[in-house]
Every structure is written in structure tokens, then in C-alpha cells.
Chain A
Amino acid sequence: MFDSLNRRNLLKYGAATGVGAAMAGFWTRPVRAADAALNVFCPLPPDPAPPGAAEFAKEAFAKWQADHAASVTYEKLGWSQLHDRMATAFASGSAPWDIIYNCGWVPEFQSFLAPYADQLPKDVVDDLPPSSFKTVTIDAKRYGAVFTLSLLTLFYNREHLEKVGLKEAPKDWAEFKAYAKELTGGGRYGLVFNYGDPAGIGGTASYWMVFLQQAGGKMYGEDRMPVFNNAAGVDALQMMVDLMAWTDPGSISYANINDATNVLLSGRASMMMNWPFMWNTANDPNQSQIVGKVSSAVLPAGPAGTASIDGTDAWTVAKASKNQDKARELIEFYLSPEVQKRQVLDTGWLPIRLSVLADPEVQAKAPNAAVVLEQAKHPYDSFVTPDYNEVTVAVGTQVQQALQGQKTAAQAMADAHDAVVAIVKRRG
């Protein structure tokens, strides 16, 4: 009796498993057998996404797939979750993607990536800013290609400046402070930042890196040890601390850049550092109170001139991919002039190709492109390393303490130095 019961149960389980398998099949899209299947992991629009994932260059994309006997599937994910899913996949040694969006994480995941960018055609490479390869090059091998020129520049409310008799954007630190002071008052602040999140590209540590380079400093020496605990590092931080007097006090609580952007868009702050994409948002009447009033300029120069950081949105190819050549070809397609042009015209993300940036139609649609190009002539290092996240949390936390007046700038820099030394040594 027990035997028959067991057998019946077994049959039941068998049926259940079958149903499970059928369900799994139901959710999987069929792929044509002859095609090379490419799996692309990317963020969702409005963050920078490729054709087919975002709404642009759709016909060209369909044509590319047909011509190259490839079918591309996108795995799209909200930006803030990208790193978690990548980390899980890589840490368990199985990542299913051929092409992977990366943002400052190339050194971290380097051992899982292929240095495919060394094989990109010369005419493509020559049309890209050489410095755009900085964050994706490790030991002279290029693991990625940045596909959008995304540097921090200054955005300001022209109307506010004009009201207090200021005609142009601030050019140097002294003017920056004077402007911020002048523009503060009547429920409005000269500046707004997002200092809530210590880490990552665009967090508190990133802003400090901008000022650091403007002060003539850098993060690491040749021996890969930190070299910022000096006059440049302290001056950079002191500048941020000084600006706090005319910065929206909420800045310390804004964990994401769009929390700060909204303040500028509401007209209750006059200036902020932001990414090129901001241009479209600021001129969208559904989101902005300051349509047509925004201008953009190169960041105010410090003692060593102007400087910025790089958003480093890049395409990389997985080492484990079975279709590395096809993957590279797809990236070449993403970087082709026609796709790059549609990218900026339809989504607002600037191209990376210099020829497209110089295109009059592009410059008319994105008047800030010229500013970003000008900014790109100056340093814009994001100092990415394999432990970028850990380092920026450590530095950003110290910067936050200085901004809140819990520490002097000098003390914060000394502590940040010790923390980063410990991190670099632990990595070994």
C-alpha cells in the first residue's frame, strides 16, 4: 500500500515538474537556431540605453540584426540595481551576458571581461576622445568603449544671474564663491549638490575629486597608493566646505542626483554641477519650472584650471561570451555615426564620436554639447580602481563629516588617506 502511494506521489511530482518545465518554456522567447544570439545587459531608459532598448535607431537596429544573422535580446534593469545583479552573477562565476554596460566598474570586473576594444577599427578609435579610454584601460589593454560623452559641467539659471547683474558663468573659484553668495537669499540658494550618498560616480566623493583636480591634485601615485593628503586635497575640501554657506542645506540629505536636480528645476537654486542629460530635463515643461532659462558652462577653474569627472558609461564584452566577434561588431554598430546621431537627437545622451559632436544639427539640438567638448579638453579623471566603491565610501564619508563641521578639512583628509591606504593594502 505504501509502495503504491509512493508511486502515485512520484507520478504527481513528475507531473508537477513537467508543468514547471512547460511554464519555464512559456516565458522564454524562441530564438532562431541559425542566428547568433547576443545577450546585452543594460540600463533602462531614460538612463543611457542602446537602440532597441531605448526608442531610437530602431530600423537600423533591425537591419543590423538581419544583416549580421544575429538576434539581440536585452536584459534591462533599473540603474541602481545593475551593480547588484552583476556582482551576484560574477561572484558565483556565471554571467550569461555577451555585452555588458559598465560604469566605473571595469577594473572591478576586469577578470571577467575581454579586452575587445583593442580590436576596434582605427577609424572608430581615431574619432573618439583618447581620454575616454582612461577608465576602461588596464595594463595597457582596453576593455571597453565609452559611448556617451558624459562629463560634469556647470548648469545655471540664467534669469537668476541676470537679476543680480551677472552676465556670465563664474570662471574661477573666487567668482564661484562670490556668485553663490550673491545668488543666495529669499528662499533660494546659490548652489545645490547631492551629498547624501558618499560613494560612486556622482556621489560626494566624486564632487571632491572634481575640486581635487581643479586644485591640481590627484588620487593615486605611480605606486597606486593615495597621494591626496596634501595642500591640493585639503584646498579642494575646504572649497566645498566654504561653499556650504550658500548651498541648499538639504544637499547633505540628497542621496541621488535627481533629488538635487529637482531643486534647480523648481527655481530654488541657481547653480549646480550636473551631467549633459540634464539639458533635456531642464527644458521639459512637465518637469521643469525653468524651461528656456538654463545655461551650461565649463566648471569654474581652481588653482590648476578647470577639471571634471567622467560618467564612464561604457560597453564591455564578457570573456565568457561565445560570440565575442559578433559582440564587438554590435558595439561598433552602437558607435556608428548614424546611431550616435540618433542617440543624441532622440534621447538627449550626447554622442562620443567627435565628428558627430561637431555636427551642426547635433549642436543645435544639444547646445550644451560644445560646452562638454570644451570641458573634455581638461582633466576629467574619475580615478576608478578595482575597489572604487570601497574607496569612495571611505573618502565620501570623511568629506560628509567635514561638510557638517564635525571635522576640519585637514583632519578629514588625513583620515581619508589612512582609510584608503588600508583598503589598497588589504587588496594586496
Chain B
Amino acid sequence: MIWTFEQRRRRAGLLFVAPGLLLLAAILGFPIVDSLLLSLQRVQLTGDQVSHSWVGLANFERLATDAVFWKAAFNTAYFAVMEVLLVSLISLGIALLLRHPMGNSSLFRIMLIVPWAIAPVANAVLWKWILNANYGILNGILVSLGVIDFNHVWLGSPFSALNFLLIVDVWKSVPFVALLMLAGLQRVPQSLYRAAYMDGAGPFQSFMHVTLPSMRGILAIAIILQTIWSLRVFDLVFVLTRGGPADATVLMNFLAYRVTFNFLDLGYGSAIANVIFALTLLIAALYVWLLWPREPGGRR
């Protein structure tokens, strides 16, 4: 009796999962495999068509000595670490604010959605104008407030340019993660807080011992997704800096784009993309192992 019940559940489970898996395989199967194969080829647009020749691991060997690639790798590492940190902390802060009775208004929540709903193309151009060194409103405001006494070239020096890209991307990424965290916060059973209060816990203790542990799953999802996304930032670089000045803001995904679509070096571009893939996979696996609650299905 129990065995057949389990069997039924197992069959239903497969039936539930199968359409999604098949759909994903149908859409992404060939492109993913082909991209992997492309990274082992040299592709040239010569003659009447596109010629492919197998080159083994040559593309990956070229990566090792490509200074631009390493620059992009370091930029990306800095960018991704900072982005995940900032987005997680700011989002958690906003989620806590909006859960507080004073912040519990629909106006705030709609306001939270807006930056996310703006088309990224428009968003990037908007920020390009805001940050413009000559007629940008950021310089205008800061100068008239007396914070700075001359216009700054925000996107002019390597470190500053990278950090402004970071800020804009954080601005764009926070809403979704904050909504996710707010949802997670709301799920924490009030009884746990009550119990913590009975035990004499203050706000900080109850945050550390009740809120955070209860949100572990949500936090894990938020951090994993944000990591994946921060490793593939592209459109902001394309519009705001084009990787400049002097490759200071070249991130790996932008480099993959540049090599693939501007240089038409499809094999090498795929190699870069596959490095991003491998790195993301490793980091995500690490996060899942570290953060994911040990007992799936268990009440947390």
C-alpha cells in the first residue's frame, strides 16, 4: 500500500518534471553543444561560406596568454564579488524596511518595481546622460550642492568607470532581489519571533537567530541568481563605456561579445563564453553546497 503510494508519487514526479526538461533540451540542447564544439574550432568567413576547422584546445591556450582576457577576468571578479555583496545587503535592507509597518505601503512596492521594469537599453542611455562629464545631471547636482567644485569625469579613469558601472548595475538588480527577500521575510512564522521574544531576544538577536536562518533558502537563491547575472553583464558596458577607457571596463561577457560579433572570431569567442560557463558552474555549485539547506523538504 505504502509502496504503491510512493510509486505513484514517483511517476507523477517524473510526469511533472518531464515537459520542462524536454522543452529546455529542445531549445538549448543544440546551441549549448554547438557552442562547446565551436570553442574547439577556428571559424572563418572566407570563400562562399563559413569555414570551420578543428584546432583542439588552441583557443583555450590563446586565452592563457591574452592580456585582455586576464584584465577582463580580474575586472569581472571584482565586479561580481562587489555586485553580489552590495545587491544582497541593499536588498536585505530594503526588504527589512518594507516589512516594517511604516514601510508597508503599496506605493513603496510599486516604486521598487519601476527601475527593474525600464527597458535596459533605455536605462543604460539614461545613466550615460546622468553620468556625462560635461552636461550630466549628477555633476550638476553635486556642483550646485557644493559637494564637488568642478565637473568630474565619472567614466574617465579606470577604477571610477568600473565602479560606476557597478553602481548602475546594482541599482538595476536590487528590485528583483529585494522583492524576493521581502517574500522570504514575510514567510518567517510570527510564532518564531514571539518565541524568541519570550526567550528574551532583542531585535538584533531575533534577526540573527530567527530571520536569517529562516531565510536561508531564499538567500541562497538570491545569491546564486545574482552571481550568475553579475558574471554576464553586457548591455551596460556596451552603452556606457564600450569597455573603455583603455579596456578598464571590459568584463568577460563583453569581451566574448566583442570577439564573437565585432571580430567575428567565433571559435575564440565561444572559448571565452565557455570559460564564463565553467566558472559560473563552479561558483554556483559551491554556493549550493554551502548555502542550500541540508534537508530538502524539511521544515526550516
The reply, when asked whether chain A contacts chain B directly with Cβ atoms under 8 A, is yes
Q: Are B241's CB and A319's CB within 8 A?
A: no
Q: From A200, which residue of chain B is reached at the shortest CB distance?
A: B262
Bound-state CA distance A319–B157 (Å) is 45
Interface residues on B, range: 35 or more
Q: Are A253's CB and B48's CB within 8 A?
A: no
Q: Are A268's CB and B134's CB within 8 A?
A: yes
Q: Are B242's CB and A255's CB within 8 A?
A: yes
The interface residues of chain B, by DSSP majority, are classed as loop
Q: Are A91's CB and B241's CB within 8 A?
A: no
Q: Are A83's CB and B262's CB within 8 A?
A: yes
Q: Which of B45, B134, B264 has the most CB of A within 10 A?
A: B134
**Given A91-B266, A198-B242, A266 and B48 contact (CB-CB distance below 8 Å):** no
Return chain A residues, CB-CB under 8 Å to B245: 195-196, 252-253, 400, 404
Q: Which of A92, A196, A197, A401 has the most CB of B within 10 A?
A: A196
Q: From A90, which residue of chain B is reached at the shortest CB distance?
A: B45
Residues of chain A touching chain B, judged by Cβ–Cβ distance below 8 Å, are 83-84, 87-88, 90-93, 108-109, 111-112, 192, 195-199, 204, 248-250, 252-255, 259, 262-263, 266, 268, 319, 387, 389-390, 393, 397, 400-401, 404, 406
Q: Which of B116-164 contact A (CB under 8 A)?
A: 128, 132-135, 151, 153-157, 161
Bound-state CA distance A109–B264 (Å) is 10
**Given A249-B156, A250-B153, A255 and B246 contact (CB-CB distance below 8 Å):** no
**Given A83-B262, A404-B245, A255 and B239 contact (CB-CB distance below 8 Å):** yes
Q: From B263, which residue of chain A is reached at the shortest CB distance?
A: A390
Q: Which of B232-273 contact A (CB under 8 A)?
A: 239-247, 258, 260-266
Cross-chain contact of A404 among B132, B239, B246 (Cβ < 8 A) = B246
Bound-state CA distance A198–B248 (Å) is 12
Q: From A390, which residue of chain B is reached at the shortest CB distance?
A: B263
Q: From B136, which residue of chain A is reached at the shortest CB distance?
A: A250
Q: From B62, which residue of chain A is reached at the shortest CB distance?
A: A426
Could you pull out 17 A-B pairs where Cβ atoms are within 8 angstroms? A84-B261, A90-B50, A91-B266, A92-B50, A108-B264, A111-B47, A196-B242, A198-B242, A252-B245, A253-B244, A253-B245, A254-B133, A255-B240, A266-B135, A390-B265, A393-B258, A400-B245
Minimum CB–CB distance from B243 to chain A (whole Å) comes to 8
Return chain A residues, CB-CB under 8 Å to B247: 397
For B255-295 the 0/1 string (1 means CB < 8 A from A) is 00010111111100000000000000000000000000000
Return chain B residues, CB-CB under 8 Å to A83: 261-262
Return chain A residues, CB-CB under 8 Å to B240: 255
Bound-state CA distance A154–B135 (Å) is 22
Minimum CB–CB distance from B12 to chain A (whole Å) comes to 15
Return chain A residues, CB-CB under 8 Å to B128: 255, 259
Return chain B residues, CB-CB under 8 Å to A108: 45, 264
Q: Answer whether residue B188 sits at the interface, using C-beta atoms and an 8 A cutoff.
A: no
Return chain B residues, CB-CB under 8 Å to A255: 128, 239-242, 244
Q: Are B246's CB and A390's CB within 8 A?
A: no
